[in-house]
């Protein structure tokens, strides 16, 4: 079920996720590979760099 939830979250990113992903996907944070909406049981994290064991969670403010 986490995979389906992660897929749905990737299809509907928040403004903060969209903005950060714009930089991450072009590898502007070094040459590190990040994944979006990565299931890490029991969570689904916004961004994860598995090589560096780094997780980034974004928060949207109104």
Which contiguous run of DSSP H or E holds residue 12?
Answer: none
Q: Which two tokens stand for residue 4?
A: 């389906």
Residue-wise pLDDT tens digits, 3-40:
899 999 999 999 999 999 998 888 777 888 999 999 99
What was the pLDDT predicted at 41? Answer: 86
Residue-level pLDDT at 62: 61
How confident is the model at residue 61, as a pLDDT?
73
Q: For 10-35, b where at least 16 C-beta lie within 10 A, e where not — what string?
A: eeebeeebeebbeebeeeeeeeeebb
């Amino acid at each position: 079920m986490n995979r389906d939830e992660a897929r749905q979250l990737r299809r509907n990113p928040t403004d903060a996720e969209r903005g950060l992903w714009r930089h991450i996907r072009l590898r502007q944070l070094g040459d590190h590979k990040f994944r979006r909406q990565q299931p890490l049981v029991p969570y689904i994290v916004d961004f994860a760099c598995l090589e560096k064991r780094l997780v980034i969670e974004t928060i949207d403010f109104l």
